[in-house]
Amino acid sequence: MTHTMNNTNRYHRIAACAAFSMAGLLLASCGSVNTTYTRTTPADSAIAAQTRVNDLFQQIFLTAKEVRMNRTKGGPMEVQIDVENNGFSYKTFSYRFDWVDPAGNVIASQLSVWKQTNVPSGGSTVIRAVAPSDDASDFRLQLRQSES
């Protein structure tokens, strides 16, 4: 009877070790996408809103690496936000940009719709929007976590 108990305990220990080993391999493979940046300082068009934008992204476990805003050749403002996922899981989220005039009033636009995107574990993406008119001087970003 003791011999059977020892074999059962040994089997459970081997099964537990195998499960932990598989979990470790799965976690290691989740972060297999790597991203590098050649620029070591922010772009000339980077804006100070990065901290506020990061506060928003961190709520869904993402990071805004850089926020850039400048005028397009046609005149209206454009914003680009580099979004990075340093976590171990695929992240899907929706975002919407509203543009505001110098007084802070929202500029009505049919372009202000929810868009969905995703970022793989260890990967990055750029979300961007162009203002609906030359009157826009700033943007308001809204985020929500989406089901994949």
Same domain, 18 and 81: no
Q: How many domains does the chain have?
A: 2
Q: 76-130: per-residue pLDDT in tens?
A: 999 999 999 988 899 999 999 999 888 888 999 888 899 999 999 999 999 999 9
For residue 18, is it within any domain? yes
Same domain, 73 and 127: yes
> Residue 127 belongs to a domain with what CATH number?
2.60.40.3230
Summarised one tens digit per residue, pLDDT across range 14-58 is 544 444 344 333 333 343 344 444 445 655 655 665 667 777 788
Say whether both 56 and 127 belong to one domain. Answer: yes
Structural domain boundaries enclosing 111: 50-145
| Residue 66 shares a structural domain with residue 119 | yes
21 and 84 assigned to the same domain: no
**128 and 59 in a common domain:** yes
Q: What pTM, to 2 d.p., does this model score?
A: 0.67
| Cα dihedral 143, 145, 119, 110 sign | negative
| 41 within a domain of the structure (yes/no) | no
Any domain includes 75: yes
**Residues 58 and 19 placed together within one structural domain of the fold:** no
Residue 134: band (very low, low, confident or very high) from pLDDT cuts 50, 70, 90 = very high
Does 74 map to a domain?
yes
Domain co-membership, 20 together with 63: no
Q: pLDDT at residue 66 above 70?
A: yes
Is 44 a domain residue?
Answer: no
- Specify whether the CB–CB gap between 148 and 85 falls below 8 A: no
Q: Are residues 62 and 128 in the same domain?
A: yes
Encode the chain in three state secondary structure: CHHHHHHHHHHHHHHHHHHHHHHHHHHHHHCCCCCCCCCCCCCCCECCCHHHHHHHHHCCCCEEEEEEEEECCCCCEEEEEEEECCCCCCEEEEEEEEEECCCCCECCCCCCCCEEEEECCCCEEEEEEECCCCCCCEEEEEEEECCC
